[in-house]
Amino acid sequence: MKLTVTRINALKCDPGQRDKLVFDDDQKGLAVRVTAAGSKSYLAQYTIGGQRKRVPLGNCDALSLADARAAVCAIMGKVASGVDTAAERKAAADAAKAEAERQRLTLGVLVDTWKALHLANKRARYAAEAVRALQNAFAAQWDQPAENLDRAAVVRVLDGMAKAGAVAMASRTAAYGRACYQWAMKRGTIAVNPFAALPSMGEAPKRDRVLADGELAEVWKAAGQISGPFGGMVQFLILTGQRREEVGGITWGEISADLSIWTLPGSRAKNGADHLIPLSEPARELLRSLPRSGALVFPGEVGLFQGWSKAKTRLDALLSAAGYPVEAWRIHDLRRTLATGLQRLGVRLEVTEAVLNHVSGSRSGIVGVYQRHSWADEKRAALDAWGEHVMALVEGRTTAGNVVQMRAG
């Protein structure tokens, strides 16, 4: 049939048909598809490589017959030259879909997905630190496609961290990024891992900062002037020697009814092992002074306390204002200070490591396999002596005979 506008308008499906094609006698390959519902659209049909292909052109109400014939003429010309228009259009559509998916899979979305599907099975502390480290380091790339983060950009960011003195953090961030992208590659959502086989960041200088007795006393006093949970956390860190995140996440449910023992669950401990920390009288007194407004012993404004850096700056400002600035110290130095202090008090190395929940050193290897003594009594004696020592420093008095007597091994 030679197609005309009038004839196209009169086209109908035969009874029982879902649709039918009516081809044009004037332009080879042009057809009108009419459906049982009455819609009509132009298409081009051709054969290439032994396969029949069809290319939709548009609704007959939106495209003129003359334009439809011109479009089919151009397509048939390409077919004569070996060009498959249908394949071209499919490839373009697939590319557009892939690009849309690439744009949707931003670095932030990738990390959030990694957190939800993979890190959920890891320790909560590791998961939180991994996400925080990547978000802080790659904030400028967070809303960009994850595949846009190339090796050069990664090296540039990590080098900047290392030059700023954060070598250890740069190394950990590289490890987190490598793990995230490797996970995504195994799932087929990312083709290249920009963190793979990075050059070594070098070793971070080992810290051996220990606060002197006078410094420790001033930190305690200044912490007592800070409202909110931070001051109490600092004092609790001084008395127990545990890690910052462990103290920050402590709940009342981890504290015994008489406030004598803190049981740190393995899910929150760095080494994954449950840890019992005997609480000295100063630590118990600190707990008794705290209000109970929820599950957390030291709650932040919303959930866990997050303002460590700002609060530490306030603490340093208070120390300076009091005429006793403490030079270049970190919260983690309080843990090292306790360990050194216990050594000065005559505490055995094994007991100190038990207090700190270390599994290295004297508790590693074959010794760790067979040494199952909990050191519970020794830990209590050590922390009681340390608590008394700290209070003596704060109150400006001396103590006599506070060397911890330990039984022979």
Give mean pLDDT, residues 106-124.
88
pLDDT at 402 over 70: no
- Both tokens of 106, joined, read 């931003």
Mean pLDDT taken over the chain: 87
The helix or strand, by DSSP H or E, that contains position 263, with its residue range, turns out to be: strand 261-264
- Check pLDDT > 80 for residue 362: no
What local confidence, expressed as pLDDT, does residue 367 receive? 40
- pLDDT attached to residue 21: 93
**Across-strand partners of 261?**
278
pLDDT for residue 205: 55
Residue 206's pLDDT is: 59
The pLDDT score that the predictor gives to residue 193 is: 95
Locate 227 and state its tokens: 């409202």
Task: Name the least confident of 234-248, 340-354, 393-407.
Answer: 393-407
Least confident of 141-155, 167-181, 190-204, 259-273: 190-204
Q: What is the mean pLDDT of residues 107-111?
A: 92
Strands (E), 39-96: 40-48, 51-59
More confident residue, 286 or 407: 286
φ/ψ of 41, rounded to 5, equals -145, 150
- Rounded to an integer, the average pLDDT of 352-360 is 85
Contact 32, 39 (CB under 8 A): no
In the predicted structure, residue 366 carries a pLDDT above the cut 50 = no
3-state helix, strand, coil in the chain (%, to 5): 50, 10, 35
SS3 311: helix
Q: Considering only CA atoms, which of 2, 89, 75 is closest in space to residue 44?
A: 75
177 sits in which H/E element: helix 167-187
Query: What pLDDT is recorded for position 153?
Result: 94
Burial label for 213, CB within 10 Å (0-12, 13-18, 19+), is middle
Predicted confidence (pLDDT) per residue in 64-93, tens digit: 999 999 999 999 988 888 888 888 888 877
285 within 8 A of 313, measured Cβ to Cβ = no
pTM for the model stands at 0.54
Q: Is the pLDDT of residue 256 over 90?
A: yes
Tokens of 232: 């109490």
3-state DSSP assignment of residue 273: coil
- The per-residue pLDDT for 185 is 93
Which residues does 194 contact at the CB level (< 8 Å), separation at least 6?
149, 150, 151, 153, 154, 177, 181
pLDDT at 147 over 70: yes
